[in-house]
Amino acid sequence: MQITFLGTGTSHGVPMIGCDCSTCRSDDPRDRRLRPSLLVTADDGTSLLVDVGPDLRAQALTHSIRRVDAIVFTHGHADHILGLDDVRRYNSLMGSPMRLFGDALTLEEIKRMFGYAFDSNTPQGGGIPQLELIEVRGPFTVGSLHVVPVPIFHGKRQILGLRLGRFAYLTDCSAIPDSSWDLLRDLEIVVIDALRRKPHGTHFSLDEAVAASRRIGASQTYFTHMCHDLPHAATNATLPESMALAYDGLQVNIAE
């Protein structure tokens, strides 16, 4: 199974509009962060997108993503769903509606934001994404991929973390409830939200993310959803040996 980090930034992205800080002006390509998204590709070619933000088209072109079997949404905030209209291209490529997995609240937010796609009065054709909504109520499969939901908190809102085999993805996380720690045992790789160094109400700070990583005990931790307060090289130099900031385009492989 291959994991491709399509975007590792916040809702603003990095560089941020109108900012002249050293990270936003950096020449290091690892400091350029699109909105958060992940591609999981199974050994048999099954392809699962995790979230589709407003940078989906650019991400798909950069990584030549020609197959998407389904999309799972961690939650319904703009930086995680606003690329959904571009899914209509995959309707053509795959010859089928796109299956969208999410919790009940997220699916309602998608229906509200993209109401035209679900309105029978909207003229049909290649300009309308064909979407199939599937509520996540427990573990589910996409082809050969088995996905286990891991409830986490994004501020006061419970959202979906995900586990696939010995890999877990916990973006937009500010707390892990007691009931979810057992779902994070025996991981090879975990990806955790680490917004910045200062505390934040709806995201882990870097120190909080490091502490959660130590408790999880995965062989390798990658941090994601970073703002411009965390320059890649300088921040990595301060992290424990088994932890690092992820970056757009990073690919890691893990046994299925």
Contact 21, 228 (CB under 8 A): yes
CATH number of 2-253: 3.60.15.10
Using pLDDT thresholds of 50, 70 and 90, give the confidence band for residue 67: very high
pLDDT at 161 over 70: yes
Domain boundaries, the chain: 2-253
pLDDT of residue 127: 85
Distances (CA, A) of 87 to 6, 21, 23, 178, 212: 16, 34, 32, 36, 34
What values do phi and psi take at 65, rounded to 5? -85, 105
Higher pLDDT, 80 or 122: 80
What sign does the dihedral 41-239-188-182 (CA atoms) show?
A: negative
Q: What is the pLDDT of residues 36-53, one digit of tens each?
A: 999 999 999 999 999 999
Contact 251, 196 (CB under 8 A): no
Distance CA 171, CA 73 (A): 11
pLDDT over 90, % of the chain: 96
pLDDT of residue 146: 98
pLDDT at 246 over 70: yes
Distance CA 110, CA 152 (A): 20
Higher pLDDT, 124 or 241: 241
Higher pLDDT, 90 or 123: 90
pLDDT of residue 247: 98
pLDDT of residue 125: 67
